[in-house]
Amino acid sequence: MGTQTPHPVPAAYHRGSRAVQARVGVQELAEHVARSITPGIRPVAAAFLEAQPMLMIGAADPAGRVWGSLLTGAPGFTRATGPHTVSVAGGIPAADPLADAITAAGTPVGTLALDPRTRRRMRLNGIARPSARGFTIEAEQVFSNCPKYLQKREWYGSEDTRPGTGTVRHGEELTPDQVRRVRAADTFFVATVAPDGVDTSHRGGNPGFVRVDAPRELSWRDYPGNAMFLTLGNLEEDGRAGLLFLDWETGTTLQLSGLAHTEYGPEGRVTRFRVERTAEIPAASPLRWSPPEYSPANPTAA
């Protein structure tokens, strides 16, 4: 009987993440946490993924701009079809900036499955390709994160509307209404890229934790986390980033694409993001969620 070739295990961290870990002095902890990263999808991860009605995805569009997007569907629309493969039904809506991003040649993507009801989250990064169902992802990194800074919400249900069919509002800076909504946000998602792939992560805090310093300038403190520094590490290598803000009660999404960098100073780590493109999609999500129960880990916003 022949032996199976093991699935290759990519390095947990690249040069950028290791540089930030060294700067902060958490190399030993980061190496310990790296043991949680696997190339395969374990049964508990597959069950969690299949139970979720939404999936965040990050990638670069054909022009090279990085975006974070939201995909939704009935639980089961995202499911593991093997130990290293995920199938996502429906693809990316035509109105989304990433609608044309996934090609037959393969597109690096970073995804985040998040359940606000239980404050659980799982990241799955890999290579996406179109399929008859929508698209598939060949998993390269799969791991869960702690519930820190996750706001708890109850799922009220779904509106009987087709998601992502509203008129898209494009821009190059935030409008006054968008500024208001960003300042009121308690959650956003950030997609970043590096030579070894794409990562999509969560950022949370009390309203006001994201600052709008100008219509094209955002900033936020980097709160203590899991010591991986995947997002900040990616920004060390490549400043492109995409932010996704979700109105949990109406389903409207605000997507921002631009450049980011992290500054290290007396007030700690601060990430600064410069807006280059915006896309606002009314009712992009049919999901409706309750007001938040804030995480007890949230620092007081300055």
> CB of 135 within 8 A of CB of 88?
yes
Give pLDDT, residue 1: 39
Express as a percent the part of the chain with pLDDT over 70. 93
User: pLDDT tens digits for 106-160?
Assistant: 999 999 999 999 999 999 999 999 999 999 999 999 998 888 999 999 999 998 7
Tell me which of 202 and 8 has the higher pLDDT. Answer: 202
Smallest CA-to-CA distance from 159 within 285, 245, 28 is with 285
Q: What are phi and psi of 45, to 5 degrees?
A: -70, -40
- The single residue listed with the structure tokens 């399929």 is 131
Give pLDDT, residue 8: 45
Residue 146 lies inside a defined structural domain of this protein = yes
86 pLDDT more than 90? yes
- Report how many domains make up the chain: 1
Q: Which domain holds residue 161?
A: 15-289
pLDDT band at 227 (very low <50, low <70, confident <90, very high): confident
Which residues lie across from 134 on neighbouring strands?
A: 89
Residue 183 lies inside a defined structural domain of this protein = yes
265 pLDDT more than 50? yes
> CB of 302 within 8 A of CB of 183?
no
Residue 215 lies inside a defined structural domain of this protein = yes
Point out the least confidently predicted range of 31-35, 79-83, 93-97.
31-35
pLDDT band at 34 (very low <50, low <70, confident <90, very high): confident
Give pLDDT, residue 2: 42
Residue 138 lies inside a defined structural domain of this protein = yes
> CB of 256 within 8 A of CB of 210?
no
The DSSP element (H or E) to which 24 belongs, if any, is helix 15-24
Residue ranges of E strands in the chain: 54-60, 66-72, 78-82, 85-89, 107-115, 120-130, 134-145, 155-158, 169-171, 187-194, 197-204, 210-214, 217-221, 240-246, 253-265, 268-281, 287-289
Residue 301 lies inside a defined structural domain of this protein = no
The reported pTM is 0.93
**Mean pLDDT for the chain overall:** 92
Give pLDDT, residue 281: 96
Residue 294 lies inside a defined structural domain of this protein = no
Residue 248 lies inside a defined structural domain of this protein = yes
CATH number of the domain that residue 98 is part of: 2.30.110.10
Report the C-alpha gap between 131 and 134 in whole angstroms.
5
> CB of 137 within 8 A of CB of 34?
no
If you average pLDDT over residues 258-265, what whole number do you get? 94
Residue 144 lies inside a defined structural domain of this protein = yes
User: pLDDT tens digits for 161-220?
Assistant: 665 556 899 999 999 999 999 999 999 999 999 988 999 999 999 999 999 999 999 999
